[in-house]
Chain A
Amino acid sequence: MHISPVLWQFLVKWLNASALFPREASTIAPYADALYFFLLLITVVGLVLVGVLVFGFSIRYRKEKHPVAVQVEGSTLLEATWTIIPLALFLIVFVWGALLYFRIYNPPTNAMNIYVVGKQWMWKAEHPGGQHEINALHVPTGRPVQLTMISQDVFHSFSIPDFRVKREVIPGRYSTVWFQATTPGTYHIFCTQYCGTNHSAMIGEVTVLSPDDYDKWTQESTSGMSLAQNGERLFASMGCNACHSGSAAARGPNLAGVYGSKLQLASGSQVLVNDAYLRDSILNPSQHITAGYAPIMPTYQGQISEDGLIDLVEYIKAMQNNYRVQQTLTTSQSNQAAPTTPGTVKP
């Protein structure tokens, strides 16, 4: 990064052609590699230093040359040196690593969202337009893509080495990861968390397309129903609209505009309504009673699959206008204020 850009380009080109180095196919990859090279450098320097000391002393002070040892107490100066220098280096690595972490895990607000459900032993991707894929993922170059992921059974972990991104996919909670692909091509998706018998077969392929090819792909592979439309149908068939009808006299709160707002609960606390909250209030409604409503909603635990929940959440998201607002905060417990929408309780 801080070496000459020409040299860097040359290095990257050479490395990308070498079998000892993964391709750099996302905007993050060069940043990750820069830290990697820095770490390699200090490792090699440290190893050489220890090697020189050990071999140097071994040759200089071997018994033949130096038959009587000279007892040395220790040295505060030396001790301080090799405490402070490693500490300083490690702190640099810490700050650098933290900056990279925040870059990798904080998605830009304009990212397009794709859902991923992990299960033994496949990856199911669902695009908002309703395209479904198994062990495959199509994304365009040049656009940030955010994956909202959940596991239907055990821990899985979604990893695209050529993008340098990875995130655990956890049962019972949404996790997110984002990337912006730079180079068209196909890259491995690995499950990296041991998940049972066919763990090593849980491999997918991400296909990076140019924006034009991506549009072509979306049109060709549409099922005709978007996730939100599927959700709307589910909303009706599960009877949700009987209570959440949107009218003033309804037994359940109006859901239009609820996504991204801060909601006043009967318990007195406030919550930010995001994907995770919506999912949980469908599964555990008694723990999320909106202020002013009776705790009469039954649980839907065991009645809706993770795919169905995603459809419902997409539908509820689409019921309002400030969709873009908190898309990025789906997993973090943020206390940041979000814009409110008319119809919800103002914080």
Chain B
Amino acid sequence: MSATHTIVNLPDQRTATLPKRNYLNNEDGLLSWLFTGDHKRIAILYLISITFFFFIGGAFAGLIRLELLTPQPDLVASDTYNKFFSMHGIIMIFLFLVPSVPATLGNFLIPIMIGAKDLAFPKVNLLSWYLYWIGGLFTMAALVLGGVDTGWTFTTPLSTHYLNTHVVTAATGVFIIGFSSIFTGLNFIVTIHRMRAPGMTWFRMPLFCWSNYAASILMVLGTPVLAITLVLVALERLVGIGVFDPTKGGDPLLFQHLFWFYSHPAVYIMILPGMGVISEVISTFSRKRVFGYTAVAFSSVAIALFGFFVWAHHMFIMGVSNYSALVFSLLTMLVAVPSAIKIFNWAFTLQKGSITFETPMLYAFGFLGLFTIGGMTGVFLGALGMDIHLTETYFIVAHFHFVMVGGMLMAFLAGIHFWWPKMTGRMYPESLSKLAAVTTFIGFNLTFLPQFILGYLGMPRRYHAYPPEFQVLNVLSTAGATVLGVGYMLPLLYLGWSLKYGAIAGNNPWQATGLEWQIQSPPLTENFIETPVVDHEAYDYEWLAHKTAQEVTTVG
């Protein structure tokens, strides 16, 4: 694609400079960051933090794949391996996937997108970042003190009676991180309800706000259940209250119910904000309003609501009654429908558009493919009889990595590239970033497609050593993980490089319609000098064309 066809509308690089005053240079010194109330600065703090944890979690993933290169348990001892996958799961889920889009992009963009100067509770927002780090440090402490090997699920009675590792420390960490998540959700809900600019009605709001709103409902209602569950685990472990202990009249299945009551909705906490990013990106690079805006908005809310009623599909083989299994299977099928609706809406947004293939768009296309596979394989697992064979095998590992890594992480990278010019005022290098997107896509498929086959063959998850007939597929998977690792390292390097050497982006490099693109890049601390009055819908490209024409006339 030649440069003439790109829609990037960059300022003249010889004369362009970053705006003199912006949120990054408004105040100087470390303390001005650590005590900031600015949602944009907090978003940057989060971005640095989750990137840090992502690469720690990723290092564990690498070690896991390296061990599984051979069937023999030859790299590390089995308890070390168990600690690897436990730390990988705990870090990636609680410290990366759950906060990734909401706490970074959501924090940065939601107030701007609705025309507000900040979130409703700036100090609570800062507090939630501190809670995130306090929780993160507890988790790191568990790691440094010798690790924890419960898996990320903390299943009792294993976690309460049969392990000598740092279960309580890790659970405390997750408990605290949970509050960070609750506060973020609460802040978003209040902000979106109370602080929209004049004219910004619910149905003029960008879909990114809708999906983060839906995810916030889940965070606020679901996370306390996780907190309660972890408190019970800690009490059971420390003083033996016996809620989950069958020898004391407790019920180990109760733990499963409580845990999945949070942890299934948590999947939607992770994926919904990502879906918001995809809506923005696809709309912008096809220059079209999102096909069926209302359907996409309501399907987010539908996913959030239905998401609370499907938790027992994690327990089909655990001896829940056949009839409750029926109900949960049916509800699981229903929750798959809004996801299908979204996929087709995104595809049809491209129809009659004027499409360009910038890096965020490549990631979004990657998302569409991988999320379709992830979603459809979820239907395999929701089908009762099929679930019996597939659950607890590598099929499930592949499935949720397709949804959460193929879906969520692709969406996150799409979003980071998309809003990078707004956040930093500079462009990333175009060809290198495209290379990274393609590398990630190839590496991802090579890593996780073989795992579907492994799963149907019956290879159980969380196995340190495995029968030799599974080796070929595991070698493929490890090779894929290596490519994937390169795909993730590249953005870290070139985005870092672009902070200093990237081209000056200008206010609206993508010619997008969102309010965030109508202000300077990087924005002022107060976002808007005057509160904007919104008189058009999100994704109204005709309004944008009109506005641009007017500006040209007034200047000319």
Q: Which residues from chain B contact A203 at a C-beta distance below 8 Å? A: 467
Residues of B258-286 contacting chain A, CB below 8 A: 286
Q: Which residues from chain B contact A333 at a C-beta distance below 8 Å? A: 321
A193 and B162 form a contact (CB under 8 A): no
State which size class the interface on A falls in: 35 or more
Binds A, one of B176-184, B222-230, B333-341: B333-341
Q: Which residues from chain B contact A35 at a C-beta distance below 8 Å? A: 383, 385-386
Q: Which residues from chain A contact B330 at a C-beta distance below 8 Å? A: 94
- In Å, the complex CA distance between A264 and B353 comes to 73
B350 and A57 form a contact (CB under 8 A): yes
Smallest beta-carbon distance A49→chain B, Å: 9
Residues of B273-330 contacting chain A, CB below 8 A: 286-289, 291-295, 316-319, 321-322, 325-326, 329-330
Binds B, one of A70-78, A208-216, A232-240, A252-260: A70-78
Q: Is B27 an interface residue (CB 8 A)?
A: no
- In Å, the complex CA distance between A47 and B462 comes to 29
A54 in complex: contacting residue of B336, B345, B368, CB < 8 Å: B368
**A45, closest chain B residue (CB):** B376
A200 and B465 form a contact (CB under 8 A): yes
Q: Which residues from chain B contact A201 at a C-beta distance below 8 Å? A: 78, 465
Q: Which residues from chain B contact A51 at a C-beta distance below 8 Å? A: 369
A61 and B372 form a contact (CB under 8 A): no
B347 and A53 form a contact (CB under 8 A): yes
Fill in one digit per residue for B73-103: 1 if any A CB lies within 8 Å of its CB, else 0. Answer: 1000011001000000000000000000000
B458 and A162 form a contact (CB under 8 A): yes
Smallest beta-carbon distance A181→chain B, Å: 16
Q: Which residues from chain B contact A90 at a C-beta distance below 8 Å? A: 333-334, 336-337, 379, 382
- In Å, the complex CA distance between A73 and B383 comes to 35
Fill in one digit per residue for B169-197: 1 if any A CB lies within 8 Å of its CB, else 0. Answer: 00000000000000000000000000000
Q: Which residues from chain B contact A170 at a C-beta distance below 8 Å? A: 252-253, 318-319
B347 and A54 form a contact (CB under 8 A): yes
Q: Is B149 an interface residue (CB 8 A)?
A: yes
Majority secondary structure of chain A interface residues (helix, strand, loop or mixed): mixed
Q: Which residues from chain A contact B318 at a C-beta distance below 8 Å? A: 168, 170, 175
Q: Is A138 an interface residue (CB 8 A)?
A: no
B294 and A74 form a contact (CB under 8 A): yes
Fill in one digit per residue for A161-195: 1 if any B CB lies within 8 Å of its CB, else 0. Answer: 11011111011110100000000000010111111
Determine which residue in A87, A97, A157 has the highest number of CB atoms from chain B within 10 A of its CB, and name it: A97
A72 and B291 form a contact (CB under 8 A): yes
Q: Which residues from chain B contact A155 at a C-beta distance below 8 Å? A: 155, 157-158, 252
B387 and A97 form a contact (CB under 8 A): yes
Q: Which residues from chain A contact B462 at a C-beta distance below 8 Å? A: 194, 199-200
A167 in complex: contacting residue of B82, B317, B464, CB < 8 Å: B317
Binds A, one of B49-57, B121-129, B389-397, B487-495: B389-397
B352 and A69 form a contact (CB under 8 A): yes
A46 and B460 form a contact (CB under 8 A): no
Q: Which residues from chain B contact A266 at a C-beta distance below 8 Å? A: none
Q: Is B356 an interface residue (CB 8 A)?
A: yes
Binds B, one of A101-109, A242-250, A315-323: A101-109
B386 and A36 form a contact (CB under 8 A): yes
Q: Is B373 an interface residue (CB 8 A)?
A: yes
Residues of B365-389 contacting chain A, CB below 8 A: 365, 368-369, 372-373, 376-377, 379-380, 382-389
**B455, closest chain A residue (CB):** A161
Fill in one digit per residue for B96-140: 1 if any A CB lies within 8 Å of its CB, else 0. Answer: 000000000000000000000000000000000000000000000
B386 in complex: contacting residue of A91, A97, A157, A159, CB < 8 Å: A97
- In Å, the complex CA distance between A95 and B19 comes to 61
A64 and B252 form a contact (CB under 8 A): no
Fill in one digit per residue for A1-32: 1 if any B CB lies within 8 Å of its CB, else 0. Answer: 00000000000000000011110000000011
- In Å, the complex CA distance between A53 and B369 comes to 11
B353 in complex: contacting residue of A66, A106, A172, CB < 8 Å: A66
Smallest beta-carbon distance B401→chain A, Å: 16
Smallest beta-carbon distance A162→chain B, Å: 7
Smallest beta-carbon distance B374→chain A, Å: 10
Smallest beta-carbon distance A59→chain B, Å: 9
User: Would you list 24 pairs from A and B whose C-beta atoms are within 8 A, ordered by A residue?
Assistant: A32-B388, A39-B383, A54-B365, A54-B369, A61-B351, A61-B354, A62-B356, A72-B291, A79-B341, A90-B382, A93-B379, A98-B329, A100-B384, A100-B388, A101-B322, A103-B385, A153-B162, A157-B392, A159-B393, A168-B319, A170-B319, A173-B319, A190-B458, A194-B153
Assuming A57-B286, A200-B73, what are 4 further A-B pairs, CB within 8 angstroms?
A: A69-B541, A74-B295, A104-B388, A161-B393
Closest 6 CB pairs of A and B: A100-B385, A161-B458, A172-B246, A97-B383, A101-B384, A192-B392
Interface residues of A (CB under 8 A from B): 19-22, 31-32, 35-36, 39, 42-43, 46-47, 50-51, 53-54, 57-58, 61-64, 66-75, 78-79, 82-83, 86-87, 90-91, 93-94, 96-106, 120, 153-155, 157, 159, 161-162, 164-168, 170-173, 175, 188, 190-201, 203, 284, 301-302, 331-333
